[in-house]
Amino acid sequence: MKFCSECAAPLIVEVPEGDHRPRHVCPKCSAIHYQNPRIIVGTLPVHQGKIMLCRRGIEPRIDMWTLPGGFMENDESLAEGALRETWEESKASVEIEQLISVISLPIVDQVHCFFLANMPVAEYSTTEESTEIELFAPADIPWQEIAFETVKTTLQHYINSVQQSLTKPYQVCNTTLGPRKSDTY
Ligand SMILES: [Zn+2]
């Protein structure tokens, strides 16, 4: 961030009064430009015990399998974002059952959230973002070709919950993956 989005003046980096860490501050209009983590939201769609995965048609991790998901938009709820992303990437209509994972990735300033979702009918189609969509039994998940660690963690947590015959709602997998930026200093 170099220029103020309010008045276009060049920004400086300093700790504002009463704050505890450096921010991008505008010396002209005094606006403080906070930078905070972004939320990625998606679903884990299940149809008759099988899990829907999408093969990525875009970078990063093109050709790898993933759960449908993407950046949450302003003016929507977490669940609405999950349903929207699922529709955009797979044209699947799903019903939210419960939150299943909340995974912090401090190294990239992101939080990934997934909902367990019921897919009553196995209707879906490829899109620009997904070149192939398939339902996988838990034993057939292509673990070596899963695009993201957060997706792998979410799938493992869900499958463990099913295999242990736990009753719903399942516990939410609330964890942190990878190092923090402060670890590297
Ligand atoms: Zn300004």
In the chain, where the domains are located: 1-35, 38-178
User: So what's the pLDDT on residue 180?
Assistant: 87
82 within 8 A of 45, measured Cβ to Cβ: no
Task: Tell me which long-range contacts 60-66 makes (C-beta under 8 A, separation of at least 24).
Answer: 60/147, 61/147, 61/148, 63/131, 63/145, 64/145, 64/146, 64/147, 65/142, 65/145, 65/146, 65/147, 66/146, 66/147, 66/148, 66/151
What's the average model confidence in pLDDT over 169-176?
Answer: 97
What's the average model confidence in pLDDT over 19-37?
Answer: 96
Q: Answer whether residue 128 shows pLDDT above 60.
A: yes
Q: Does the domain formed by 38-178 have CATH 3.30.930.10?
A: no
Determine phi and psi for 78, rounding to 5 degrees: -60, -45
User: So what's the pLDDT on residue 125?
Assistant: 97
Q: Answer whether residue 181 shows pLDDT above 90.
A: no
User: So what's the pLDDT on residue 184?
Assistant: 62
What's the average model confidence in pLDDT over 53-78?
Answer: 97
CATH class of 1-35: mainly beta
* pLDDT, tens only, 96-108: 999 999 999 999 9
Cross-strand partners of 116: 44, 98
* pLDDT, tens only, 107-122: 999 999 999 999 999 9
The percentage of residues in the chain with a pLDDT greater than 70, rounded to a whole number, is 99
DSSP one-letter code for 166: P
Rg (CA), the chain: 19
User: So what's the pLDDT on residue 91?
Assistant: 97
The Å distance, Cα 32 to ligand 1 centre, comes to 8
Q: Answer whether residue 185 shows pLDDT above 70.
A: no
The Å distance, Cα 154 to ligand 1 centre, comes to 42
The Å distance, Cα 33 to ligand 1 centre, comes to 9
The Å distance, Cα 22 to ligand 1 centre, comes to 17
The Å distance, Cα 16 to ligand 1 centre, comes to 14
The Å distance, Cα 18 to ligand 1 centre, comes to 20
What's the average model confidence in pLDDT over 44-66?
Answer: 97
What's the average model confidence in pLDDT over 36-48?
Answer: 98
What's the average model confidence in pLDDT over 80-96?
Answer: 98
CA dihedral (51, 52, 55, 56) positive or negative: negative
- The mean predicted confidence, pLDDT, of the chain is 96
The Å distance, Cα 10 to ligand 1 centre, comes to 8
The Å distance, Cα 19 to ligand 1 centre, comes to 19
The percentage of residues in the chain with a pLDDT greater than 90, rounded to a whole number, is 94
The Å distance, Cα 34 to ligand 1 centre, comes to 13
What's the average model confidence in pLDDT over 6-25?
Answer: 96
